[in-house]
Amino acid sequence: MDFTFQNYSWGHPVLRHLVKLQESAKNRGVPEDIQSQIQNCIDCVIAGEDYCNSVSSPPSAAIDNLIKETENHPWKQAYEGGELDWEVSPVMLSGALEGSFLKTLTSIANAKRVLEVGLFTGCAALAIAEALPADGKVISCEIGKYVGDVARKLVDQSPHGKKIDIMIGPASESLQQLATEGQKFDMVFIDANKEGYIEYYNIIMDNDLLDFRGTILIDNTFHGGQSYLSQDKLELEEDRIEINVMRGFNDHVYNDDRVSQVLVPIRDGVTIIRRKAEFEGEV
């Protein structure tokens, strides 16, 4: 499976099932017209994604370059050489379309200070920074120095890179430090290790890191279908299955009486969270 198809298939369980059906149809000698219809279904899923990209404003040259350099970076060699503690992949990128989505929400919110939990190579951080005023700031938490250094180099190729500060270390520690300092943010974007989502969310909400009318954005709330499908329906490799991790987080937010939220089906799912009183016009 090539990288481009991985980008499509991770967030589309139906697409994964169609590919399996296509392989089975070929192996069993199913009539060509049926195989053709299966391919048409696959093409429709991919075309929808491509169309969203084609009619959305294109990413800046800096983000386009960041995406290309991330895709071409020797991540495997870095891992095998001991510079990374775990394997990472370009599939972790937020991507051009989601980057434009985040940039748009940042602009709508008139945000000035944004907290990001999970930087990777800085695609989302740079998209957000592009929508901030000249004195705006993105503070991004990244656990690994190697990845943080790659991101620093890439975002600094943009004039907006100066708006991005990177904190290296466990996100929970960075968040506690920001809380101790009394910092507040207009918007928070969480896109890190999924098993840490509840902890990060609790630290942010319990310590008022989110400003009075602020917004939290949570990435990967579909988690490749794992939030709403049983294991036998996923068609994922066993080492990528983390059943109930994201479902547990989604339930945690749903049962939090302080907030209202909506899950938007863009890419792998983005949940938008607001304090209930603000969301429902009570203040």
Tens-digit pLDDT profile for residues 190-243:
999 999 999 999 999 999 999 989 999 999 999 999 999 988 888 877 767 777
Whether residues 45 and 99 share a domain: the answer is no
**Other beta carbons less than 10 A from residue 270's beta carbon:** 23
The tens digit of pLDDT for each residue in 88-120 reads 989 888 889 999 999 999 999 999 999 999 999
Same domain, 29 and 77: no
Lowest average pLDDT, out of 46-55, 64-73, 226-235, goes to 226-235
Predicted confidence band of residue 4 (pLDDT cuts 50, 70, 90) = low
Q: Do both 50 and 81 map to the same domain? A: no
Assess whether 90 and 225 both reside in one domain. Answer: yes
Query: Which of 54, 76, 93 delimits the end of a domain?
Result: 54
Neighbours of 149 (CB within 10 A): 14
pLDDT-derived band at 7, boundaries 50, 70, 90: low
Higher pLDDT, 137 or 87: 137
What local confidence, expressed as pLDDT, does residue 283 receive?
55
The boundaries of the domain holding residue 97 are: 61-279
The overall average pLDDT reported for the chain is 92
Same domain, 113 and 241: yes
Q: What is the pLDDT of residue 281?
A: 63
Residues 190 and 210 in one domain: yes
- List Cβ neighbours of 48 (8 Å cut-off, separation of 6 or more): none
Domain shared by 73 and 181, yes or no: yes
Residues 206 and 258 in one domain: yes
Task: Give percent of the chain with pLDDT exceeding 70.
Answer: 95
Residue 115 CB coordination number (10 Å): 27
Question: Long-range pairs for 153-158 at CB < 8 Å and ≥24 separation?
Answer: 154/65, 154/66, 154/69, 154/70, 154/121, 154/122, 154/126, 155/62, 155/66, 155/122, 155/125, 155/126, 155/129, 157/62, 157/65, 157/66, 158/60, 158/62, 158/63, 158/66, 158/126, 158/129, 158/130
Q: Supply the pLDDT for residue 80.
A: 94
Please give the tally of structural domains in the chain: 2
Tokens of 137: 């700031």
- d(Cα 175, Cα 211) in Å, to the nearest integer? 14
Do 158 and 263 share a structural domain?
yes
Residue 39 has pLDDT above 90, yes or no: yes
User: Using an 8 Å Cβ cutoff, are 174 and 150 in contact?
Assistant: no
Q: Are residues 46 and 74 in the same domain?
A: no
Give residue 1's pLDDT band: very low, low, confident or very high (50, 70, 90).
very low
pLDDT, position 232: 85
CATH (domain of 199): 3.40.50.150
Whether residue 11 is found in the same domain as residue 135: no
Q: Over the stretch 253-278, which tens digit does the pLDDT of each residue have?
A: 999 999 999 999 988 999 999 999 87
Contact in structure between 142 and 116 (CB atoms under 8 Å):
no
Given this model, what pLDDT does residue 234 score?
84
The pLDDT of residue 3 is 44
CA distance 89 to 141: 18
pLDDT of 2? 46
With residue 213 as reference, give the H or E element that holds it. Answer: strand 210-219
State whether 151 and 254 are in the same domain: yes
* DSSP secondary structure letters along 182-199: T--EEEEEE-S-GGGHHH
State what percent of residues in the chain have pLDDT above 90.
Answer: 80
- For residue 184, is pLDDT > 80? yes
